[in-house]
């Protein structure tokens, strides 16, 4: 019973303990909420929205993904500034570092008479020493300045190929700026002439690797145009220029605008050159073109300061005279006008017709020139013959002309001017009459029409009438008409597909009926003399393997010998016999065996290009006897 007084005390202590625990728990909860709120607010204020804050008792956990280590550290510093650092638990992560992209590798090469400078950024894998050595080996390279920087990144696809092509272009262009990147090469250069410009553009276009963008700006010095010539016509074929010259771009634009008003359609150009006889040339040209347009047809020729207006035969004389008078009043000082309303002209073209006397010269595609019709006295005939043989070759000219003492004065100069014009044509005909010179034919020279106009304007005189029907054929152009290496191989194999090269059974002697095929191949190879090709010989699988290989080798060599006999440059040709290898059909049937017996031309790729091709090919074929691009195939029609 003595313990009863202690019971109230026990309950008092128990109640006090419960109150203490509750108060402590409340205080902790209050601290947690306050700390989380304060730290969260501070994080937002500092721009760390990515941080999430939570409490675990008096400890604060920071979670989230920081963009980098420095940002994570700044977030921890913010939290430590609000609560005791011992209470902060870092559960934050750092984002994986982004892969740094490789820089754009490029080289700009400047070349002039003072030397060559290389500026840019190249991969560390590029052999800098070898690169500079290649540049120094360029003919007349001069001093080479190396201003290149290096970055240790994997070279981009196509980099080495583009670099090699850029150096090849550099070797051809003594005055140039060449910008090289993995996907493009930009060329700015100056050439020696318009012909050199065209050839450079063609050579670079042909040599450009597939997939590489090539942009060229090659300037040529302004040509000296003599005589300064413009010839504009309106006839049944529409309005057109035979020749157009201007001294400035502004003047050219004025002339072309007047021509379009007169009916000119499509693309047209006017050569900008030196030698203009007067600053008022555009004004005179525009006035002459306007006059011709008002007449509705004919031709107008400006040769230096002399202007010849030739109307159409059906134009009324009064209308023609009125327009001539207006043109004379519109011409600037220093220009003279000759106007003629011609009688209808009939071109017989035989040299022996009953009409006006004629001299006729014809040139065929093989270059043979036949002269017929009338020429002056014997002395004039000898002069004409000597001129023609000097122009076309001793063996190419056949003279069937006849002397005629009744020809008008100045006949011989007209004939010589006509022969000069014919020399600019691949094939064609010139007809000389007392009142007209007619030139007709095809050419591979895009400027031939303008050059013929200048020749006739200069040598016939400004008061002469001439007609031109000259067609430009790209296939005849010695620059643009050249086939690419791939086209060379394809064209040859197309010939073989149509007409096979055949041999006697078991022999390497070419059959007589296959010689036409060899002749045709020889013609094609003359336009591809710088293309490396393989002549491959193949047999079927009948017979011993070693014998088949030897026979195919002999046949490939026989084709090479036959081409050499036809004066084809064979330095870039190689004959290889593969025997029964690489069949293109089954050897189980006669048709298949016949297909496998064949001669095949293939393009040989230089080793450095082949290596580049291998690097670009994810699953390259097994190399055989070097790297070769296959074209089509011809076949033989006898066993083995």
Pairing of β 359-363 and β 336-340: unpaired
Q: Give residue 320's pLDDT band: very low, low, confident or very high (50, 70, 90).
A: very high
Q: Give residue 609's pLDDT band: very low, low, confident or very high (50, 70, 90).
A: very low
Between 99 and 204, the more confident residue is 204
Q: Give residue 480's pLDDT band: very low, low, confident or very high (50, 70, 90).
A: low
635 three-class SS: coil
* Region 250-257 average pLDDT: 96
Between 632 and 384, the more confident residue is 384
* Region 364-382 average pLDDT: 92
User: Is 226 buried (19+), middle (13-18) or exposed (0-12) by CB count in 10 A?
Assistant: middle
The pLDDT of residue 97:
66
Pairing of β 213-219 and β 184-190: parallel
pLDDT of residue 556 exceeding 80: yes
User: Is 327 buried (19+), middle (13-18) or exposed (0-12) by CB count in 10 A?
Assistant: buried
The pLDDT of residue 100:
64
Share of the chain above pLDDT 90, in %: 47
Share of the chain above pLDDT 70, in %: 88
- The tokens of 586 are what? 């089954």
Lowest-pLDDT range, 32-36, 155-159, 175-179, 357-361? Answer: 32-36
The pLDDT of residue 7:
64
Per-chain mean pLDDT for the chain: 85
pLDDT digits (tens, 9 = 90+) for 271-306: 999 999 999 999 999 999 999 999 999 999 999 999
Q: Give residue 462's pLDDT band: very low, low, confident or very high (50, 70, 90).
A: low
The pLDDT of residue 150:
93
446 three-class SS: coil
Pairing of β 573-579 and β 533-538: parallel
pLDDT of residue 587 exceeding 90: no
Between 154 and 14, the more confident residue is 154
Q: Give 274's DSSP letter.
A: B
What domains sit in the chain, N to C, each tagged with a CATH number? 17-94 (3.30.1340.30), 106-219 (3.40.1520.20), 229-340 (3.40.1520), 359-476 (3.40.1520.20), 485-630 (3.30.1330.60)
Contact predicate 233/240, CB 8 Å: yes
Q: Give residue 8's pLDDT band: very low, low, confident or very high (50, 70, 90).
A: low
pLDDT digits (tens, 9 = 90+) for 184-215: 999 999 988 877 888 888 888 888 888 899 99
The pLDDT of residue 616:
42
**Radius of gyration over alpha carbons of the chain, in Å?**
43
pLDDT digits (tens, 9 = 90+) for 47-83: 888 888 888 777 888 888 888 888 888 888 888 888 8
Q: Give residue 349's pLDDT band: very low, low, confident or very high (50, 70, 90).
A: confident
Q: Give residue 538's pLDDT band: very low, low, confident or very high (50, 70, 90).
A: very high
Lowest-pLDDT range, 140-154, 548-562, 611-625? Answer: 611-625
The pLDDT of residue 99:
60
């Amino acid at each position: 019973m003595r313990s009863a007084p202690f019971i109230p005390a026990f309950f008092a202590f128990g109640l006090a303990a419960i109150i203490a625990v509750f108060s402590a728990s409340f205080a902790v909860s209050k601290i947690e909420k306050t700390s989380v709120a304060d730290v969260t607010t501070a994080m937002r204020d500092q721009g760390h929205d990515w941080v999430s804050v939570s409490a675990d008792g008096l400890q604060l956990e920071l979670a989230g993904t920081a963009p980098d280590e420095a940002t994570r550290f700044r977030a921890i510093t913010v939290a430590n500034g609000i609560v005791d650092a011992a209470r902060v638990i870092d559960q934050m992560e750092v984002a994986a570092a982004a892969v740094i992209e490789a820089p754009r590798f490029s080289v700009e090469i400047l070349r002039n008479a003072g030397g060559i400078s290389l500026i840019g950024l190249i991969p560390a894998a590029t052999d800098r020493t070898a690169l500079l050595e290649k540049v120094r080996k360029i003919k007349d390279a001069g001093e080479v300045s190396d201003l290149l920087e290096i970055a240790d990144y994997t070279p981009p696809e196509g980099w080495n190929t583009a670099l090699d092509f850029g150096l090849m272009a550099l070797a051809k262009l003594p005055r140039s700026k060449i910008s090289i990147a993995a996907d493009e090469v930009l060329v700015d250069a100056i050439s020696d002439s318009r012909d050199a410009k065209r050839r450079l553009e063609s050579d670079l276009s042909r040599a450009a690797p597939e997939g590489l963008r090539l942009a060229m700006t090659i300037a040529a010095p302004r040509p000296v145009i003599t005589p300064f010539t413009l010839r504009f016509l309106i006839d049944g074929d529409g309005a057109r220029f035979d020749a157009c010259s201007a001294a400035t771009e502004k003047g050219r634009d004025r002339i072309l605008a007047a021509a379009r008003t007169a009916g000119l359609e499509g693309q047209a150009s006017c050569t900008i050159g030196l030698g203009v006889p007067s600053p008022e040339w555009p004004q005179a040209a525009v006035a002459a073109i306007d006059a011709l347009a008002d007449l509705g047809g004919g031709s107008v020729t400006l040769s230096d300061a002399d202007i010849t207006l030739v109307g159409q035969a059906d134009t009324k004389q009064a209308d023609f005279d009125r327009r001539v008078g207006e043109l004379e009043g519109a011409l600037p000082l220093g220009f003279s006008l000759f106007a003629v309303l011609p009688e209808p002209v009939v071109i017989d073209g035989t040299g022996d017709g009953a009409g006006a006397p004629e001299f006729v010269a014809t040139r065929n595609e093989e270059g043979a020139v036949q002269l017929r019709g009338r020429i002056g006295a014997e002395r004039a005939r000898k002069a004409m013959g000597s001129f023609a043989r000097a122009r076309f070759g001793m063996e190419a000219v056949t003279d069937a002309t006849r002397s005629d003492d009744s020809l008008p004065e100045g006949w011989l100069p007209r004939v010589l001017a006509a022969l000069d014009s014919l020399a600019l044509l691949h094939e064609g005909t010139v007809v000389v009459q007392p009142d007209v010179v007619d030139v007709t034919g095809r050419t591979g020279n895009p400027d031939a029409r303008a050059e013929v106009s200048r020749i006739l304007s200069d040598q016939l005189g400004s008061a002469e009438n001439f007609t031109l029907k000259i067609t430009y054929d790209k296939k005849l152009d010695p620059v643009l008409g050249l086939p690419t290496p791939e086209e060379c191989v394809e064209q040859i194999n197309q010939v073989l597909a149509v007409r096979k090269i055949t041999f006697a059974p078991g022999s390497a002697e070419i059959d007589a009926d296959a010689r036409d095929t060899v002749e045709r191949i020889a013609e094609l190879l003359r336009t591809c003399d710088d293309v490396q090709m393989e002549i491959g010989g193949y047999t079927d699988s009948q017979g011993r393997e070693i014998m088949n290989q030897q026979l195919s080798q002999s046949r490939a060599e026989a084709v090479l010998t036959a081409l050499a006999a036809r004066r084809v440059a064979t330095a870039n040709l190689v004959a290889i016999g593969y025997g029964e290898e690489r069949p293109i059909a089954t050897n189980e049937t006669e048709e298949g065996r016949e297909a496998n017996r064949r001669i095949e031309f293939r393009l040989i790729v230089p080793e450095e290009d082949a290596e580049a091709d291998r690097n670009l090919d994810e699953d390259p074929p097994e190399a055989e006897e070097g790297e070769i691009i296959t074209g089509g195939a011809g076949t033989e029609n006898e066993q083995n």
